[in-house]
Amino acid sequence: MARRIGPGAKHRASSAAQRPIGRRRPIIARPKGFPTDASRRSVCDFPATVRIHALHCPPVKRRLAHAPRIPTVLDEIARQLEPRGAAVHLVGDALRDGLIEAPLPLRSEADGGAAPRRFTLVTDARPDALIEGFATAVPTARDGACFRLNTVAGAVDLHPLPEGRDLADHLAARDFTQFAMAVRLGPSGDRSLIDPHGGRGDLESGTLRAVGDPGVMLDRDPVRALRAIRLFACEGDALEPALREALDELPSELLGRASPHRLRRELDALLLSDRVLAALRLLRATDLERALAEGVEEGAAERVAAQPPRVHLRLAAWLLGARTGRALRRLRYSPHVANRVLAFVASHPIERCTAWQRPSNLRKLAQRLDADDRRALIALRRQELAREPDPEASEALEQLERALVALEQDAALPPRPKLAVDGRVLIDALALEPGPQLGALLDHLRRAVDEGRTSNDREALIALARTRLAGGAGAEPRPSGSVRD
- pLDDT tens figures, 202-221: 999 999 999 999 999 999 99
Asked if residue 461 belongs to a domain, the reply is yes
Q: 102 φ, ψ to 5°? A: -160, 145
Whether the link from the prior residue into 349 is cis, omega within 30° of 0, is: yes
The residues facing 156 across adjacent strands are 119, 149
SS3 content of the chain, % helix, strand, coil (to 5): 50, 10, 40
253: confidence class by pLDDT, cuts 50, 70, 90: confident
Asked if residue 465 belongs to a domain, the reply is yes
What does the mean pLDDT of the chain come to? Answer: 81
Residues 6 or more apart from 118 whose CB is under 8 A from it? 93, 94, 154, 155, 156, 157
Please state which of the ranges 34-43, 133-142, 376-385 shows the lowest mean pLDDT: 34-43
CATH code, 170 = 3.30.460.10
Asked if residue 148 belongs to a domain, the reply is yes
Residue 415 confidence (pLDDT): 60
Identify the domain boundary among 205, 234, 255: 205
19: confidence class by pLDDT, cuts 50, 70, 90: very low
Count Cα atoms within 13 angstroms, Cβ side, for 420.
15
Alpha carbons 444 and 419: distance in angstroms, whole number: 11
Asked if residue 129 belongs to a domain, the reply is yes
Whether the link from the prior residue into 103 is cis, omega within 30° of 0, is: yes
Identify the domain boundary among 205, 230, 246: 205
On whether the CB atoms of residues 319 and 327 are closer than 8 A, the answer is yes
Helix ranges (DSSP H) in 40-111: 48-51, 72-81, 93-99
Amino acid at 236: G
Number of domains into which the chain is organized: 2
For 136, the domain range is: 63-205
User: Which of 268, 181, 276 lies closest to 232 in space, CA to CA?
Assistant: 276
Q: Is the pTM of this model over 0.95?
A: no
Identify the domain boundary among 185, 205, 225: 205
- The answer on pLDDT for 305 being more than 90 is yes
On whether the CB atoms of residues 267 and 111 are closer than 8 A, the answer is no
Cβ atoms within 10 Å of 236's Cβ, excluding its own = 21
- The answer on pLDDT for 453 being more than 70 is yes
Asked if residue 58 belongs to a domain, the reply is no
On whether the CB atoms of residues 197 and 237 are closer than 8 A, the answer is no
Q: 333 φ, ψ to 5°? A: -70, 155
Asked if residue 431 belongs to a domain, the reply is yes
First to last CA, the chain: 115
Share of the chain above pLDDT 90, in %: 46
Asked if residue 323 belongs to a domain, the reply is no
